Homo-oligomer: A and B are copies of this chain.
Amino acid sequence: MKFLHTADWHIGKKLHGFELTEEQDDAYQQIVQIATDEKVDAVVIAGDLYDRAMPSEDSVHQLNHMLVDLNLDRKFPVLAISGNHDSATRLHTGSEWYSATNYFLNTELANAFEPVEMNGTQFFLLPYFEPWQARNVFEDTEIRTVEQAMKRVVAKMQTAFKPDFQHVLVAHFFAAGSSQTESETKVVVGGLNAVPLDLLALFDYVALGHLHNHHALNDEKIRYSGSPVKFSLSEAAEQKGVWIVDTDAHTVTYKEITPLRDVETRTEAFATLMDSTYYDQLDRDNYYGVTLTDRAIIPDVMNQLRTVYPRIVSLDRKYGREDIPTAVQVNPNLDPLTLLEKFFEHVNDEPLSKQQTNWAKTGLNDARKED
């Protein structure tokens, strides 16, 4: 069994107000190309297909279009679950019909225990769930944490294990020991919200969704695919892609997705950023998180930058007031004019001009007279 493992498509997601529709369509096309080139037997999508429980009509149209293309037109079997961003009920629509064409979409915990069998592999499709749902399914009011629930879930799945089959779990949760970035909504579930890895040891592979970095977890058999698109500045340095899992050859290979428009961070002086010898070497179609090293006030700074970088997603200053050295903070041993000169030079990286010095002297004299 050879399958492609992806997750966290987050259709409808915006990056600081910018629609990512084109990026997501492009990433989808690359996923299809990888699936075709690798001749996979199925595509696994481990939750968070939508970014919101109540997706917009455009998002509904976009995701439906992808899934029709993937399953009906290109005939890839699809194994999918709902994530914490999806509405299980809404995403469920039509799923009773989908299985006829080997599109298995599970959004309900209760349906996670009957595996989908394909090419000698049993796939257990475990959607995102909360402890109260496990309490209902197991009729056990003692279940309070995801860890407690997962013990029961895995034990129940194990009763359906066929010995000669490989066993793959598709799930959407926070695995203990993973590192989180800022664009994943924290899954808060009771007290303990992390699933210990030893609970998952009996599976041949665990295809996870939820964390957007495929390096989030360092394990041979338990992996996050990460998102196919960068969804926050904190993901700027990440390489996006999908896993190709071969349960017969026991290989797992990461296939990269090249971003249509990348997400980058730049820490520079305003003058540098506006200099064509600098920006001509950049792909200015990318999304930029800009940190200015300037201390001077720059009028209309965002609009000026946007003439060069149309997709600035954030603008910060490297040096805030807290960076002004104590030496130039109010120092009673310096006369007011020297203090002003030092402060001005520190903030603006240049001394007061002659004209400015005259204005300062006049102003300080006037202030003294008022005393």
Closest to A99 in B: B97
> Quick one: copies of this chain in the complex?
2
In the complex, are the beta carbons of B93 and A64 less than 8 A apart?
Answer: yes
Which of B54, B57, B60, B96 is within 8 Å of A68, CB to CB? B96
Give the chain B neighbours of A54 by CB distance below 8 A: 54
Partner of A97, one of B57, B60, B90, B94: B94
Contacting residues, chain B, for A165 (C-beta < 8 A): none
Question: B-facing mask of A166-199, CB < 8 A → 1, else 0?
Answer: 0000000000000000000000000000000000
A79-107 contact mask (Cβ, 8 Å, vs B): 1 or 0: 00000000101101111111011010000
The reply to whether the CB of A296 lies closer than 8 angstroms to some CB of chain B is: no
In Å, the complex CA distance between A64 and B89 comes to: 10
Residues in chain B near residue A92, CB distance under 8 A = 60-61, 64
Rounded to whole angstroms, the CA-CA distance of A87 and B98 in the bound complex is: 21
A57 to B100, CA, bound (A): 25
Is A155 positioned at the interface, with any CB of B under 8 Å from its CB?
Answer: no
In this assembly, does A202 line the interface, its C-beta being within 8 Å of a C-beta of chain B? no
Instruction: Decide if A271 is an interface residue (CB 8 Å cutoff).
Output: no
Chain B residues, CB < 8 A from A87: 57
Contact partners of A72 in chain B: CB under 8 A? 96-97
Nearest-CB distance from A83 to chain B (Å)?
16
- Chain A stretch 212-262: residues in CB contact (< 8 A) with chain B: none
Closest B residue to A73 by beta carbon equals B96
Could you mark each residue 50-77 of chain A with 1 if its beta carbon is under 8 Å from any beta carbon of chain B, else 0?
0000100100110010001000100000
Q: Which residues from chain A sit less than 8 Å from chain B, CB to CB?
A: 54, 57, 60-61, 64, 68, 72, 87, 89-90, 92-98, 100-101, 103
Known A60-B89, A94-B95; further 20 A-B contacts with Cβ < 8 A: A54-B54, A57-B87, A57-B89, A57-B90, A60-B90, A60-B92, A61-B89, A61-B92, A64-B94, A64-B96, A68-B96, A72-B97, A93-B93, A93-B94, A94-B97, A94-B98, A97-B100, A97-B101, A97-B103, A100-B100
